[in-house]
Amino acid sequence: MAVTRGFTGRPRPERDPRLPPGQYDAGDDWPVLHVELVPDLPPEAWSFAVDGLVATPRTWTWDEAQALPRSTYSGAIHCVTTWSKLDMTWVGVSVDLLLEQAGGVRPGATHVLVHSHTGYTTNLPLADVTDGQAWLAFEVDGAPLEPIHGGPARLLVPHLYFWKSAKWVSRIEVLDHDQRGYWEDGGYHDRGDPWREQRYHGD
């Protein structure tokens, strides 16, 4: 990195160790960034599917998804645009459970392509959405997820940059190869680990 003449940046206080490099604490602010209009998704219009390389592809209605057992994530989220939010509490259905209900992944499965009701897509290694690391999230900090933040349900993969946590998620497609989604196709990283600052291809 070449030093930019005359640039010192904001005063940098003691860094919170929970903040990955290049991130700042947005505090009570929750910035909004998405590439489409907030869709109108009443319960009757909502559905969620797990398909591709699974034993028994399946779809859940809103009521069926609400009836699934839930678990909690407490901790931080990190957006590639450099804000992080600490101490959040999210409630949703573990992706492990959803895959299990679809009969489990078939041999050769390596990646997922996540789809949203708006047409947005994002790709992730299968290993990043299993083992208790990802949820179909319905609630945050004790309230239903607001539409502007992806409600009624978004994917939650808090250990990766937040564009992977697709808002208004509609489908997890299990694949035997990595297929780039919306931002990845536009230059953003295929994995997106904030601790390694994997923001763009080649990072």
Partner 1 sequence: MAPDRSPWFTGTVEAVHVETARAKTFTLRLPEPLGHRAGQHVVLRLTAPDGYSAARSYSVASPPTGEPTIDLTVERLEEGEVSTFLHDVAEPGDELELRGPIGTRFAWDPSDGPALLVGGGSGVVPVMSMLRLARAERRTDLVRLVAAARTPADLLYAAELPGPEVTIAYSRAAGPDGRPAGRLAADDLAPSVAPGQRTFICGSSGFCEAAGRLLVGLGVDAHTITVERFGPTT
Ligand X SMILES: Cc1cc2nc3c(=O)[nH]c(=O)nc-3n(C[C@H](O)[C@H](O)[C@H](O)COP(=O)(O)OP(=O)(O)OC[C@H]3O[C@@H](n4cnc5c(N)ncnc54)[C@H](O)[C@@H]3O)c2cc1C
Residue 3 interface partner, choices partner 1, ligand X, none, CB cut-off 5-8 Å depending on type: partner 1
Between 7 and 107, name the residue whose CB sits nearer to partner 1: 7
In whole angstroms, the minimum distance from the beta carbon of 177 to partner 1 comes to 9
Q: Please tell me the distance from the alpha carbon of residue 96 to that of residue 180, in angstroms, as a whole number.
A: 22
Q: Which of 143, 136, 170, 141 shows the shortest CA–CA distance to 41? A: 170
Between 48 and 188, name the residue whose CB sits nearer to ligand X: 188
Q: Please tell me the distance from the alpha carbon of residue 90 to that of residue 73, in angstroms, as a whole number.
A: 5
Between 108 and 119, name the residue whose CB sits nearer to partner 1: 119
Q: Which stretch of DSSP H or E encloses residue 172?
A: strand 169-175
Residue 165 interface partner, choices partner 1, ligand X, none, CB cut-off 5-8 Å depending on type: none
Between 17 and 69, name the residue whose CB sits nearer to partner 1: 17
Ramachandran assignment for 47, one of left (phi > 0), alpha (psi -120 to 50 degrees), beta (any other): beta
Residue 11 interface partner, choices partner 1, ligand X, none, CB cut-off 5-8 Å depending on type: none
Q: Please tell me the distance from the alpha carbon of residue 179 to that of residue 123, in angstroms, as a whole number.
A: 6
Residues that bind partner 1 (CB under 8 A): 1-10, 12, 22, 29-39, 81-83, 118-119, 148, 178-180, 182, 185-188, 199-202
Tokens of residue 18, six digits: 């929970």
